Chains A and B, each alone.
Chain A
Amino acid sequence: MGKWKTPDDLKYTKNDEWLRIEGDTATVGISDYAQDQLNDIVFVELPDVGASLDKGDSFGVVESVKAAADVYMPIGGTITEVNNAVEDQPELLNTDPYGEGWIIKFTIKDASEANDLMDSAAYDAYCEDR
């Protein structure tokens, strides 16, 4: 256990996004496990601010030297902010996945959609099993 960082205050998806909920705003990025599996990230495609997306919708693409992966909304919402810094420095997703490597912020449509996401212990176990 503990090979990858999984902060306790976050929720996680099976597709390896993390979700931080603060009031009616949420922040999303990819997990330490995801960045480790992808290896050096070279490109991040961001959505338009104002886009309204449902839970499970693809909101962007993360591309590494190994693979390109769609990233999905852990819960539905309207994009309020995107991290433009990762366009020029996509390696932020590798070096600080839960901090400077965040990808989007959005206003939450329905917080109850987060109920079926994993907590850090469940996500830890999920990663170890793969």
Chain B
Amino acid sequence: MTEPLIYDISSPGRTGVNLPDCDVPQSELPQHLLRQDVDLPEVSELQVVRHFTRLSQLNHGIDTGFYPLGSCTMKYNPRLNEDAARLPGFAHLHPATDEEGSQGALALMYQLQEWLREISGFAAVSLVPAAGAQGEFAGILMIRKYHQERGDTKRTKILVPNSAHGTNPATVSMAGYQAVELPSDANGDVDLEALRAACDDTIAGMMITVPSTLGLFEAHILEVIQAVHDCGGLMYMDGANMNAMMGVVKPGELGFDVMHYNLHKTFSTPHGGGGPGSGPVAVNDKLKPYLPGPVVRIVEEEQGDVPPLYGFMMPEKSIGRLKAFHGNFGMHVRAFAYIAANGVEGLKDVTRMAVLNANYLRVKLSDAYHIPYNRACGHEFVLEGRFEGVEEVHALDISKRLMDYGIHPPTNYFPLIVHEALMIEPTETEDLATLNQFVDAMKKIAVEAKSEPEKLRTAPHTTPVKRLDEVRAAKELVLCCRPIPSQADSAAGG
């Protein structure tokens, strides 16, 4: 990569900004607060523009190419969402503004709560959680409080299938429970016998990702829910994969008690460095009193031409606040715009096309790659990135080689229950031509793996940065791009 650090193009005395004349009385900062060694680059505005423009061109993003990163739902983020989020009334609204002064924002949040409630099939929604993992945390805390309020204190365990998102067992631990892993059966579904054997009065509930990380809709989901309910546990659905269900299946109607959304996946708000997440939770009547707050409610109903008056409230037995203010509001605006622009049929089409695209790729790649659970999938599927007789080629090498074809690698080595896993999620926003380019690239790579394995082992060859030494990167952590000046002289190696 040829682009230097911005520090390396710095030259003393150069400036990019002319500060306006000070129009208030100046006061001197205390001497002991003034530093002489502030190490900031001195560059012109043009240098800054060129530097960061060049850096942005070295990147791969959804705006530059196909991005089938499984589990992440890297769909296109419509610019309309960005326009809405930048409306001055939303963008410049201070979060401490009183309710009277923020009725527009409250109306939007209330409507979004209602839409998400409708899509989920649940009784109530809180928009507060800052991202998916916080949504999970809120959900399990609500389950915990539900049991505690009933004096049911012997429940200490949460069941988690081995095809769950990695955050699920972490959430269980964070909430003070013990995670009990359940095996999958030969079809990739939850092993029902193992589930029934594990169900007793120590089970607080179960966290299940639907569709699972294998991209499969749990074939006996109703039996699973029944088994856990029969032993007094509650059912948590990880809704990160709602892009395979939105508008088609309502988790609340299946019998779940609580779920979270990832607005930054299903509802096209930017993520992966592009913006914060948002992980609203939806619950049934049992858990409604425990929702994290504040939630938006109607204080006075509308009358004729007078719109309703909205206000914040804390649910009566709320698990409390999870973050300052009211969730990541900018994401709420984007998700609102997305739902409003798509409408009911549009959202159903999103799901249908996401599932169709994934199944198209799955079938097209079935000959060239081994797909261990090869049945109709949801929005994603998992194949094995290895070939008979070519021991030296791994999933990682296939991923790196895809970059030479201008495609972002799929998710590597997850889920763990598939050898050399490559998890592929095309999303609904890709057209047939792009999908076919991906199929062609994957098939070429499968041929190369046998004829020129070294080409894969040393890939990528056409990117600004070639094969990275991942072992060294993991072992020798360099967290600062250059030595801090005051320590530079004494800085030791490593």
Residues of A at under 8 Å CB distance from B?
37, 39-40, 42-43, 63, 65-67, 90-91, 130
Q: Using Cβ atoms and an 8 Å threshold, which residues of chain B touch A65? A: 396, 470-471, 474
Give the A-B contact count at a CB cut-off of 8 A. Answer: 22
B219 at interface, CB cutoff 8 A: no
> Is the Cβ of A66 less than 8 Å from the Cβ of B413?
yes
Whole-angstrom distance from the CB of B298 to the nearest CB of chain A?
47
Q: Which B-chain residue is minimally distant from A90 (CB atoms)?
A: B475
CA distance A40 to B419 in the complex (A): 16
List, in ascending order, chain A residues with CB within 8 A of B419's CB.
Answer: 37, 130
> Are A42 and B474 neighbours in the complex by a CB distance under 8 Å?
yes
CB pair B475 A42 closer than 8 Å: yes
B471 lies within 8 A of A67 (CB) = no
Q: Is the CB of A40 within 8 A of B416?
A: no
Q: What are 14 A-B contacts with C-beta separation under 8 Å?
A: A37-B419, A39-B394, A40-B470, A42-B474, A42-B475, A43-B474, A63-B474, A65-B471, A65-B474, A66-B412, A66-B413, A90-B475, A91-B471, A130-B419
Choose among A40, A43, A67 the residue that contacts B413 (Cβ–Cβ < 8 A).
A67
Closest CB in chain B relative to A122 CB, distance in Å: 20
Closest to A66 in B: B413
* A42–B470 CA distance with the chains assembled, in angstroms: 9
Q: Chain A CB within 10 Å — which of B412, B413, B419 has the most?
A: B413
Which residues of chain B in 363-399 are interfacial with respect to chain A, using CB atoms and an 8 Å cutoff? 394, 396
Give chain B nearest CB distance to A76 CB in angstroms: 19
Point out the residues of chain B lying under 8 angstroms from A90, CB to CB. 475
CA distance A87 to B413 in the complex (A): 24
* Bound Cα distance from A90 to B475, whole angstroms: 9
CA distance A63 to B474 in the complex (A): 10
Q: Which of B396, B412, B416, B471 has the most CB of A within 10 A?
A: B471
What separation, in Å, do the CA atoms of A66 and B413 have in the docked complex? 6
New contact pairs (14) apart from A65-B396, A65-B471, A90-B475, CB-CB < 8 Å: A39-B394, A40-B470, A40-B471, A42-B474, A42-B475, A43-B474, A43-B475, A65-B470, A65-B474, A66-B412, A66-B413, A67-B413, A67-B416, A91-B471
What is the bound-complex CA distance between A42 and B419, given in angstroms? 20
Count of chain B residues with Cβ under 8 Å from any Cβ of A? 10
Q: Tell me if A42 and B471 are in contact (CB < 8 A).
A: yes
Q: How far is the CB of B477 from chain A (nearest CB, A)?
A: 11
Nearest-neighbour CB distance to chain A for B127, whole angstroms, equals 32
Chain B residue contacts of A130, Cβ below 8 A: 419
Docked pose: A117 CA to B412 CA in angstroms: 32
A39 and B385 alpha carbons, distance in the complex (Å): 14
Q: Could you mark each residue 385-427 of chain B with 1 if its beta carbon is under 8 Å from any beta carbon of chain A, else 0?
A: 0000000001010000000000000001100100100000000
* Distance in Å: Cβ of B407 to nearest Cβ of chain A: 21
- Cα distance A63–B396 in the bound complex, in angstroms: 17
Alpha-carbon distance A39/B392, docked complex (angstroms): 12
CB-CB nearest in chain B for A42: B474
Complexed CA–CA distance, A22 and B395 (Å): 40
In the complex, A40→B471 CA distance in Å? 7
CB distance from B388 to the nearest CB of A (A): 13
In the complex, what residues of A have CB within 8 A of residue B412's CB? 66
Residue of chain A at shortest CB distance from B471 = A40
User: Given the complex, which residues of B lie within 8 Å of A43, measured CB to CB?
Assistant: 474-475
Minimal Cβ-Cβ distance residue in B for A41: B471
Kindly provide the distance from the CB of A40 to the nearest chain B CB, expressed in whole angstroms. Answer: 4
**A126 to nearest B CB, angstroms?**
15
In whole angstroms, how far apart are the Cα atoms of A67 and B471 in the complex? Answer: 12
Most buried by B among A63, A66, A90: A66
- Which residues of chain B have C-beta atoms less than 8 A from A42's C-beta? 471, 474-475
Write the nearest CB–CB distance from B471 to chain A, whole angstroms.
4
Give, as a whole number of angstroms, the nearest-CB distance from A93 to chain B.
Answer: 12
